[in-house]
Structure 1
Amino acid sequence: MASDNILPLTGIRGIIAQKMSESLQKTAQLSFFCDIDASALVEARNRWKASGLKLGYEDLIIAALTSALRDFPLFNAVETERGAEPQDQFHVGCAIALPGALVAPAIFDVGSLSLADIAQRRADLVARAKVNKLTIAELTGATVTVTNLGLTRVEHFTPILSYPQQAIIGLGRMTARPWVAEDGETLVIRPVMGLSLTVDHRIIDGAPAGDFLTRLAQELESGAAFSPTSG
């Protein structure tokens, strides 16, 4: 008996299906996972909110990601006919879930932006995505992508690369959990968030992927990228 709930792979859904298949066919994808103590994220967001700036955790994470990428150029590379080419600027794609679709438009040249600029530009992308007003350049110009499932109960997942990019970072939910304090002995309750990283293993080996995820975790836990003078 035929179903009345068939989802045809046409239009934007068809484009998404084609891109996902292309990504998996052309790359050797490998994912890595870790947890972070998100106390610095929570404190920074509350501090900025008190100063009058409304921003999300994703904005803070994008700022920290940019800081980490400076020492890991292959994670900000795109594949061309010549090979994987590191890019001079950081164009961070922000995955946005829409009814029946998923897009990841870019915030361009994030390395030159303040936190306030990042928050404003990401909010603008989300608003325009909802009314189908994104440009082709925004939809195709990212050099690395962040995708966020933090509003669900998912803690870790295996995000699929947006080919020809070399890395995508997945953000899991933040929840209060036991954590070993800095003294190495005391158990405390901290906000803990899961991070996921997928890379193209043809280009990036496991050791540098582990180093990069560790560096990103350290950036997020230190909060160094969240100050008013960062960006």
Structure 2
Amino acid sequence: MAVSLRLGHQGVLFGLRLSQFNKLLWPRQPCQDRVRFFFQSPWVLGVSPLKVEMPALSPTMEEGNIVKWLKKEGEPVVAGDALCEIETDKAVVTMESSDDGVLAKILMEEGSRNVRLGTLIALMVEEGQDWKQVEIPPPDAPSPSATDTGSASTMTPASPSPSPLPKPITSGLLRLSPAARHILGTHGIDPKLATPTGPRGLITKEDALNLLKKLPASEAAPAAMTTAAPVPTPADPIPPPGSRPNIPPVSVPGKPGAPGNFTEIPATTIRRVIAQRLTESKTTIPHAYASIDCDMAAVMKLRKDLAKDQIKVSVNDFIIKAAAVTLRDMPEVNVTWSGDGPHPLDSIHISVAVATDRGLITPIIRDAANKGVQEISATAKVLAQKARDGKLLPEEYQGGSFSISNLGMFGISGFSAVINPPQACILAVGTSRTELQLNEDDQTLRTQQLITVTLSSDGRLVDDELASRFLDKFRANLEKPQRMALA
């Protein structure tokens, strides 16, 4: 029996002599005609793809930016491979593949901004399928309401009857806002045609715009297009004695200023989220502030002693340790605000503000009260570098209970920081300074190395008395680092 088989990208074609085909099915009814039958494979019309959508890489993420694709079209992909880098509202996170296959089509190129969650960003196919023949799914069909609205709009007349022009004002004083006066003067429209809706008969900007829409295009032509000499504006009539002055005062409109040169810098996703959260914090949280000076002489001496043993730690590492130990001693400060009131926390995770090119981000030193200063230092260095590189994982910057912002390295003597919700407090640390102080015991002068720390606290959770006790306890822990290390 002669059977021919041909394979191709477009499908599989089978050829079979009809006589042999009939002998197989009906041996007693031979047929001498030679006819070739063709059967087309079901996948000839295209390859069904695996959809890759924009994922939610943080709890507060609503959209993201495609920073870089780590795979190219046609490359094989194994589950767990890095597909692309996505800038979320917190950091740049690497998106991993959840399927095996081949990356067939990239739908959102590098640099795509404000991509909403669930948006299709790429297509994959299974191994063995022709990735070049992948079918791009059609866009989602419009909702019935949108369709009805569209059909209804097509039924409206193409040229609606113009609305009647308002009757001109023939009596009384004309009172125009500066914006309305500019609009009407630019387009050469008589202000008497406007219908005032503002207080005490004031013609507002909206009144001028509504009048501009009602007038024909020929009547609303800009006055700047005419070449006639400008007509001087007649002086307004003097109001009768005892009447109230014009509010706002009548002003003569001038020519609009020439547009200046500027460069528009688009805000990154992280910068927009920072602005949104800071605004929310300052407008919804009652901030209270308290400051205290801490003597860093003992910390400086201990740092020198550790440096002799090749142990390098920073002043900020001791501050993190002191804050964590103080929170452990005063659990009433280690709380957050929820919808129904204070919520105690069972862990002490210190968020440390790190400045990056994308803005401030706060990686977390977890269980800082149970870590030594050297371990805190090593962890902080690793997290700070990952933050600057945009490689922080979500669990490395989410869930802190207390924040520390240190601007002392930039020469700032003291400042007040904005609370990072839902946390209750943030500690602002300034630079160290040298001061002379009189020793009351022997009336001698001694040198002090002081820093000023300011606690910003949520007044709903930490009142002034509790904040004062916290700062006093924090200073005691920081000024005796040996005892703090043993705590």
Length-normalised TM-score, structure 1: 0.91
The offset of 1:153, in angstroms, is 2.6
The offset of 1:5, in angstroms, is 5.4
SS in structure 2 opposite 1:151? helix
**Where does residue 163 of structure 1 map in the other structure?**
421
Name the CA shift for 1:57/1:180 in 2 (closer, same or farther; >3 Å).
Answer: same
Distance in 1 (CA, whole Å) between partners of 2:434 and 2:284 is 39
CA contact under 8 A between 2:362 and 2:397: conserved in structure 1?
A: yes
2:457 corresponds to 1:217: no
> How many pairs does the alignment contain?
229
2:324 corresponds to 1:76: no
CA contact under 8 A between 2:477 and 2:484: conserved in structure 1?
A: no
**Where does residue 371 of structure 2 map in the other structure?**
113
Which whole-Å deviations, capped at 9, do the CAs of 1:60-118 have from their partners, x for residues lacking one?
11111111112222322122233222212110001001124000111111122122211
SS in structure 2 opposite 1:66? helix
**Where does residue 189 of structure 1 map in the other structure?**
447
2:321 corresponds to 1:63: yes
SS in structure 1 opposite 2:332? helix
Name the CA shift for 1:182/1:4 in 2 (closer, same or farther; >3 Å).
Answer: farther
Distance in 1 (CA, whole Å) between partners of 2:453 and 2:432 is 10
The offset of 1:224, in angstroms, is 3.5
Picking from 32, 36, 50, the partner of 2:294 is 36
**Where does residue 12 of structure 1 map in the other structure?**
270
Identical positions, percent = 27
| Amino acid paired to 1:193 | I
The offset of 1:3, in angstroms, is 5.6
Measured on the aligned residues, the alpha-carbon RMSD in Å equals 1.9
Distance in 1 (CA, whole Å) between partners of 2:432 and 2:442 is 22
CA contact under 8 A between 2:355 and 2:388: conserved in structure 1?
A: no
| Structure 2 unaligned spans of 5+ | 1-258
Higher-helix-fraction structure? 1
Distance in 2 (CA, whole Å) between partners of 1:73 and 1:2 is 56
| Amino acid paired to 2:320 | I
Distance in 1 (CA, whole Å) between partners of 2:361 and 2:447 is 35
**Where does residue 87 of structure 1 map in the other structure?**
345
**Where does residue 150 of structure 1 map in the other structure?**
408
Name the CA shift for 1:149/1:181 in 2 (closer, same or farther; >3 Å).
Answer: farther
The offset of 1:155, in angstroms, is 1.7
Distance in 2 (CA, whole Å) between partners of 1:89 and 1:170 is 21
SS in structure 1 opposite 2:410? coil
Which range is displaced more, 70-79 or 195-204?
Answer: 70-79
Radius of gyration: which is bigger? 2
Picking from 78, 102, 122, the partner of 2:360 is 102
Distance in 1 (CA, whole Å) between partners of 2:423 and 2:400 is 8
The offset of 1:28, in angstroms, is 0.2
Distance in 2 (CA, whole Å) between partners of 1:184 and 1:154 is 34
CA contact under 8 A between 1:107 and 1:118: conserved in structure 2?
A: yes
**Where does residue 139 of structure 1 map in the other structure?**
397
